[in-house]
């Protein structure tokens, strides 16, 4: 039997031990599995308490079972669910009993969702939204992913594709009736109007400001500066826990340390880097190299100096300019630490902050500024349609094809019709309905097993 025709099973809840564990079974043998272990099928979509037994009649657990006959199920196939006590021994016995039934096997990562996709229960944009929802760390990521799962982009793409096909039908009808005098012109005018409207809509989506794609990965903030200025102490203050070793000895931090934060719903990765200085220690030299590289790639650099100290001009260029020579001054803040020791004023110019990382002075103001920076960086994502580079690339292909069809329609309707077919094809790939086998594995293998 082909692997896609086999019945799959997996633990779909959290790692054991747990209070309750959920094991899902999907495929043509799901009914047989449920009958073998629970004695008989319960009423569809109604929970039923059963004593579960293995193939030899030995009891496994007293649990709850559910039956979802296809195609009215999450995967479009027959599904059985076992809700049992979440001990390791219970799960081991249950999974072993299921695997003893012919043509059943353990599911691969994302295989339940892939079967849902292949059976038309959701399109590829919704599957990507589900993946994002599973991995969402903040409330804003959750809301964005849920909108995609509910079809925010998929519904629009289906509408666009249908309208492209309608316009293409008009263009091709004009080709078929080319010997009918004014018939082609009468068909061409409404087609051109529809194509222009479609092109404008997709172009606006692509041109919309905001960083909804980056919201999935988060904002990267690097804490950099010379050795022993309090970078690790500031890292611990922002994380509200001890994540970095604090020592009075310069060069304590040798490698890059990262911590993920949730700042008012915005995902932020804060990086504590090695102190940037000249050194003969080869290990510290590597730490300095990595620190410079991460600071250059960060979205925002917090450059720490002591109190009223000056910023070393020799340290500025790699951080204040990008690799192509462009100015990055807007993404670097001067943070003057140890203000509790004196030597610093009370007024700070734009882009500078005064803090005491050891006592916490000025930390709330710095965090508020980071939240504002994140809000401006991500922009409004409430109505964002595009959340992945794959989606943006395919929408751009569709937009370019629509533009070319408008440029070609007066010169040759056959060429315009071909561009419209290319636009519809790009949207079909966006939805996962045509020629997407090469991307399915990359998408679904990132899912957890049992989803």
Confidence at residue 403, expressed as pLDDT on a 0 to 100 scale: 92
Q: How would residue 436 be classed by pLDDT, with cut points 50, 70 and 90?
A: low
Mean pLDDT in the chain? 80
Q: How would residue 422 be classed by pLDDT, with cut points 50, 70 and 90?
A: very high
Position 61 pLDDT exceeds 50 = yes
Position 79 pLDDT exceeds 90 = yes
Tens digits of residue pLDDT in 332-354 = 888 888 887 765 555 566 668 88
**Residues 243-268, mean pLDDT to the nearest whole number:** 64
What share of residues in the chain are helix, strand, coil (percent, to 5)?
A: 45, 20, 35
Q: Which of 57-61, 162-166, 204-208, 393-397 has the lowest mean pLDDT?
A: 204-208
Rounded Cα–Cα distance for residues 306 and 233 (Å): 13
Are residues 75 and 9 in contact, defined by beta-carbon separation less than 8 angstroms? no
Tens digits of residue pLDDT in 223-237 = 887 777 788 888 888
Tens digits of residue pLDDT in 86-136 = 999 999 999 999 999 999 999 998 899 999 998 989 888 888 888 888 878
Residue with more model confidence, 249 or 300:
300
Are residues 90 and 67 in contact, defined by beta-carbon separation less than 8 angstroms? no
Confidence at residue 280, expressed as pLDDT on a 0 to 100 scale: 52
Full-model pTM = 0.67
Tens digits of residue pLDDT in 199-222 = 999 988 887 654 566 777 778 888
Q: How would residue 409 be classed by pLDDT, with cut points 50, 70 and 90?
A: confident
Position 386 pLDDT exceeds 70 = yes
**Residues 389-407, mean pLDDT to the nearest whole number:** 91
Spatial CB neighbours of 449, under 8 Å, sequence gap ≥ 6: 10, 11, 106, 107, 108, 109
Confidence at residue 272, expressed as pLDDT on a 0 to 100 scale: 80
Residue 48: which H helix or E strand, with range?
strand 48-53
Cα pseudo-dihedral 429, 433, 438, 439, rounded to 10? 70
Spatial CB neighbours of 276, under 8 Å, sequence gap ≥ 6: 224, 225, 226, 227, 288, 291, 292, 315
Position 183 pLDDT exceeds 60 = no
170 token code pair: 């008009």
Confidence at residue 326, expressed as pLDDT on a 0 to 100 scale: 44
Confidence at residue 245, expressed as pLDDT on a 0 to 100 scale: 45
79 token code pair: 């599904």
Residue 260: which H helix or E strand, with range?
strand 257-263
344 token code pair: 């610093």
Confidence at residue 177, expressed as pLDDT on a 0 to 100 scale: 55
Rounded Cα–Cα distance for residues 238 and 236 (Å): 6
Are residues 350 and 341 in contact, defined by beta-carbon separation less than 8 angstroms? no
Rounded Cα–Cα distance for residues 185 and 178 (Å): 9
Q: What percent of the chain has pLDDT over 70?
A: 75
């Amino acid at each position: 039997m082909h692997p896609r025709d086999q019945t799959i099973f997996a633990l779909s809840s959290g790692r054991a031990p747990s209070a309750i564990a959920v094991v899902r079974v999907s495929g043509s043998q799901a009914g047989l599995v449920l009958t073998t272990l629970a004695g008989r099928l319960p009423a569809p979509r109604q929970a039923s308490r059963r004593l579960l037994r293995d193939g030899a009649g030995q009891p496994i657990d007293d649990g709850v079972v559910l039956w979802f006959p296809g195609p009215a199920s999450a995967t479009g196939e027959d599904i059985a669910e076992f809700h049992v006590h979440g001990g390791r021994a219970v799960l081991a016995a249950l999974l072993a009993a299921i695997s003893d039934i012919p043509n059943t096997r353990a599911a691969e990562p994302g295989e339940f969702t892939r079967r849902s996709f292949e059976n038309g229960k959701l399109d590829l944009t919704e599957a990507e939204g589900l993946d994002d929802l599973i991995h969402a760390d903040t409330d804003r990521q959750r809301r964005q992913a849920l909108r995609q799962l509910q079809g925010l982009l998929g519904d629009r793409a289906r509408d666009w594709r249908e309208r492209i096909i309608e316009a293409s039908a008009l263009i091709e009808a004009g080709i078929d009736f080319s010997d009918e005098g004014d018939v082609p012109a009468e068909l061409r005018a409404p087609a051109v109007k529809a194509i222009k409207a479609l092109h404008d809509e997709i172009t606006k989506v692509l041109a919309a400001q905001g960083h909804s794609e980056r919201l999935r990965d988060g904002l990267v903030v690097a804490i950099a500066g010379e050795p022993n200025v309090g970078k690790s102490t500031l890292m611990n203050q922002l994380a509200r826990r001890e994540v970095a070793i604090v020592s009075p000895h310069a060069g304590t931090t040798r490698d890059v340390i990262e911590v993920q934060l949730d700042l008012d719903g915005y995902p932020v990765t804060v990086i504590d880097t090695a102190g940037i200085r000249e050194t003969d220690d080869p290990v510290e030299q590597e730490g300095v190299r990595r620190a410079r590289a991460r600071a250059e790639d960060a979205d925002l650099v917090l450059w720490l100096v002591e109190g009223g100290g000056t910023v070393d001009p020799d340290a500025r260029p790699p951080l204040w300019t990008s690799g192509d020579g462009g100015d990055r001054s807007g993404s670097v803040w001067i943070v003057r630490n140890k203000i509790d020791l004196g030597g610093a004023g009370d007024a700070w110019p734009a882009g500078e902050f005064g803090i005491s990382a050891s006592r916490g002075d000025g930390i709330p103001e710095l965090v508020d500024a980071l939240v504002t920076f994140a809000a401006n960086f991500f922009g409004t994502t409430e109505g964002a349609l595009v959340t992945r580079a794959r989606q943006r690339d395919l929408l751009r292909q569709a937009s370019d094809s629509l533009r070319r069809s408008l440029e070609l329609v007066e010169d040759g309707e056959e060429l315009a019709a071909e561009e419209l077919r290319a636009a519809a094809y790009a949207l079909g790939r966006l939805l996962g309905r045509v020629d997407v086998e090469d991307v399915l594995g990359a998408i679904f293998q990132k899912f957890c097993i049992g989803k």
